[in-house]
């Protein structure tokens, strides 16, 4: 792996946990050959790239700490899951909100770091660092190692269930090229944050592309949350919804059920694409929230272009 900048791991959006900090320190030492990880801490400097130590249910209680990141002038923060709260709050600031990996869940696998995960993240950092105007990626269907509790013993065994999607599934009868500001993250967090001042209404009033992570909740709950978004009027300016995978649980034994895809698309009344690698899966793709984004979809590839400035695509 090659670094595109030095990365500081932060636990500032989590409650202090000595066991987690000890585990994090051990993993940093295990990755000592990758000197671009500078350690775990909460002292930052201007232009630092930050990566969350992990997500967590208490992230919302620390959301006001985004003011510190903005004041110091850090360059970026990467995370997902419950860190959706923080990323959405950062969208209207100079700090780049990266929906991407977190250190403990995504960089402590016994067999090393997924190259696709690292390349997607580090290439994005490089574009940010050199002030590139447009960052482009090409996402392809990948075998997904689905989420297992990283603090359990199973994380270090070769037991994680895998899914091998043959293609992306697109539910729409219209154009396969879409444009809008990238918003989203964890579905339940995004739903709750709508209507608060931590999700600037500006983004919901513009044409947007909504990215929603993989889910393991009962399908009925997912459908209800999506319908709440529709009732709130949140989806009225949404041009496309990109969904992660449906994870297998006791509630959902089918990973790629086309009838579910159609039901979701009919419910929200918005073009949808399913089976994209982001969220609690490996490998995962990284992208920016709050930036003008152009997406072109086929069954074998999703072409993603994001403007790092404040301009639109012509």
CA separation for the pair 77, 99 (Å, rounded): 8
Q: What's this model's pTM, rounded to 2 decimal places? A: 0.88
Q: Is the peptide bond before 283 cis (omega within 30 degrees of 0)?
A: yes
Closest-CA residue to 137 (of 104, 164, 100, 162): 100
Residues 6+ apart with CB under 8 A from 267: 223, 226, 227, 230
**169-171 and 7-10 as β-strands: parallel, antiparallel, unpaired?**
unpaired
Report the alpha-carbon distance of residue 248 to residue 163 in Å, rounded: 9
- Domains of the chain (ranges, CATH numbers): 7-133 (3.40.50.10740), 138-307 (3.50.30.60)
pLDDT 10s digits, 166-222: 567 777 766 689 999 999 999 999 999 998 888 888 888 899 999 999 777 778 888
Q: Write out pLDDT tens, residues 157-178.
A: 444 445 555 567 777 766 689 9
Q: 106 near 284, Cβ under 8 Å?
A: yes
Count of CB atoms within 10 A of residue 22's CB? Answer: 10
**pLDDT higher than threshold 90 for residue 103:** no
Q: CA–CA distance from 265 to each of 65, 171, 305 (Å)? A: 36, 6, 24
pLDDT at 153 over 50: no
How far is residue 277's CA from residue 284's CA, in Å, rounded to a whole number?
Answer: 5
């Amino acid at each position: 792996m090659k670094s595109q900048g030095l990365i500081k791991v932060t636990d500032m959006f989590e409650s202090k946990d000595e066991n987690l900090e000890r585990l994090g320190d051990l993993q940093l030492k295990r990755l000592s050959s990758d000197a671009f990880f500078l350690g775990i801490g909460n002292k930052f400097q201007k232009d630092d790239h930050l990566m969350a130590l992990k997500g967590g249910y208490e992230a919302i209680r620390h959301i006001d700490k985004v003011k510190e990141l903005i004041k110091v002038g850090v360059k970026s923060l990467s995370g997902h899951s419950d860190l959706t709260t923080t990323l959405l709050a950062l969208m209207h600031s100079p700090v780049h909100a990266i929906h991407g990996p977190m250190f403990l869940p995504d960089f402590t696998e016994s067999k090393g770091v997924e190259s696709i995960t690292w390349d997607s993240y580090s290439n994005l950092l490089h574009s940010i660092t050199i002030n590139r105007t447009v960052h482009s990626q090409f996402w392809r269907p990948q075998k997904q190692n689905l989420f297992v509790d990283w603090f359990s013993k199973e994380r270090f065994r070769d037991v994680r269930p895998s899914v091998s999607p043959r293609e992306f599934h697109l539910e729409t009868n219209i154009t396969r090229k879409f444009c809008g500001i990238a918003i989203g993250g964890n579905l339940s967090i995004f739903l709750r944050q709508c209507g608060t001042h931590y999700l600037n209404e500006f983004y919901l009033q513009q044409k947007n592309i909504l990215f929603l992570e993989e889910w393991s909740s009962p399908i009925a709950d997912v459908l209800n949350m999506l319908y709440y978004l529709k009732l709130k009027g949140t989806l009225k300016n949404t041009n496309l919804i990109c969904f992660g995978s449906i994870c297998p649980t006791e509630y959902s034994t089918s990973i790629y059920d086309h009838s579910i895809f159609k039901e979701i698309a009919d419910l929200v009344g918005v073009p949808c694409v399913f089976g994209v690698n982001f969220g609690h899966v490996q490998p995962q793709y990284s992208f920016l929230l709050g930036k003008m984004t152009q997406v072109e979809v086929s069954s074998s590839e999703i072409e993603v272009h994001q403007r790092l400035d404040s301009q639109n695509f012509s």
